[in-house]
Amino acid sequence: MVAAAQAPRCLFQLRKRRGLGHLVRGLNIAKALLALRPEAHVLFHLATPPPPGFWPENIPYEVDQGTPRCSEAELAACWSPQVQVFDTELPDGDELRALQAAAPACALAFLMRRCLPTQQQALYGDPSLAAMDLVLVPHTAAEFGHALPEWLASRSHFVGPVVRRPDPLSQRALEQRLGLRFGDLVLTSTVGSGSVDTPARRLFDTVADAHAALSALPQWRAWRHIVVLGPCFEGQVQALAGMTLLAGEPDLVDLLARSDLVVADGGYTTVSELTLVRTPAVLLPSPRCIDDPLERARRLADLGCCVMLQPDDGAGLARVLASLAGDAHLRERMRERYPPAQVGNKAAARLLLALCEARPGCVAGAPPA
């Protein structure tokens, strides 16, 4: 008699990151994993509680309270996952040794975002990367651009961007919630989670300057302008006449799909979702310490599917928006120039499931209280 296969157990260790990008990637992979194996067990370890309305009820999470009870190693020892997943930041040496002692049979996986060249080389030299059994790269190989060391290439997989597809039902619910009517022209301005305060503040100031300049134009009166501050943004923004402010939008990809134009700062998730839904965009990228929004924006601008401006160019943004708002044919041509979108959620989930199946010796522990 063949023993029944053990239900996969996957722990997403995301407590070292703030913002929403890593949570969005983890959730997208977890949902794909549960769609493939509904009996699987998934648990998330987070730095802070997720924003209201953001987290699905069927996926449990633990919040790091800064106590030994909530450490990565303690949670792994308690829950006994077959695979632990890290995103963007690796555990340091002490954390890695504690994890390996707490759950010696558990495999380790890493989501490796494209970094700036110096950051990428530093990552390749991190001893914790060598301890990863699986490396998931949420880019195509061409988009990633960096060469992989030979020792790393054998355990790495370019799965493509990890993004949520828009859903017609949630898009209709969003339209009802925001009072969007058939035929409404929609401009959405967003910085994603708003977790990096200075670029977010600069973009919102630039958007406000452009909105004020456009308000007097006849063609602008037909537009709805929705500004998504992001749940991690802690500043204040004044709503101008004709502007709808949202603290956050859990179904942002549905709003991007419903929009006729988007203003954004070139973050990884936003650019990946724009490529998927093919909405014409104006990108105002600001430098980052880890990755390169300027490179992402320039790549789309070279294709002709977006316009790239300086992040504080309110007058330039007003001119571009006025031109795009009055030219439906130009917006349609921009849509056509987006590259084909590759979604890596299911490929990443399959690789994690295969890694779980390769670790049958893990003994299932009770979920943490």
Q: Are residues 86 and 34 in the same domain?
A: yes
Handedness of CA 115, 116, 120, 123 (dihedral sign): negative
- Does residue 160 carry a pLDDT above 70? yes
Burial class (CB in 10 A: 0-12, 13-18, 19+), 101: exposed
Q: What's the confidence (pLDDT) of residue 18? A: 63
Q: What's the confidence (pLDDT) of residue 196? A: 62
44 closest CA partner among 35, 123, 36, 29: 29
Query: Alpha helix locations (H) across the chain?
Result: 21-36, 72-79, 93-102, 117-124, 127-130, 141-144, 150-153, 168-178, 197-214, 252-258, 268-277, 293-303, 314-325, 328-336, 345-357
DSSP 92: -
Q: What's the confidence (pLDDT) of residue 365? A: 41
**pLDDT per residue over 2-33, tens digit each?**
344 689 999 999 877 666 888 999 999 999 99
Q: What is the arithmetic mean of pLDDT over 309-336?
A: 94
Which residues span the domain enclosing 78?
9-162+344-357
Q: Are residues 136 and 72 in the same domain?
A: yes
Confidence grade of residue 368 (pLDDT, cut at 50, 70, 90): very low
Q: Are residues 136 and 174 in the same domain?
A: no
Range of lowest pLDDT (127-131, 191-195, 198-202, 243-247)? 191-195
Q: What residues pair up with 190 in beta bridges, in sequence order? A: 228
Q: Are residues 151 and 74 in the same domain?
A: yes
Calpha distance 264→188 (Å, rounded):
8
Continuous segment of H or E residues that includes residue 243: strand 243-246
| Domains: count for the chain | 2
Does residue 2 lie in a domain region?
no
**pLDDT per residue over 74-115, tens digit each?**
888 888 899 999 998 899 999 999 999 999 999 999 999 998
Q: Are residues 66 and 149 in the same domain?
A: yes
Beta-sheet strand order (sheet of 281-283): 243-246, 223-228, 185-190, 261-264, 281-283, 306-308
Calpha distance 109→143 (Å, rounded):
21
Does residue 365 lie in a domain region?
no
Q: To the nearest whole number, what is the mean pLDDT of the chain?
A: 89
Q: Which amino acid is at 258?
A: R
Residue 24 CA, chain-centre distance (Å), reads: 5
Three-state secondary structure call for residue 306: strand
**Tokens 């965009």, residue?**
281
Q: Are residues 351 and 330 in the same domain?
A: no
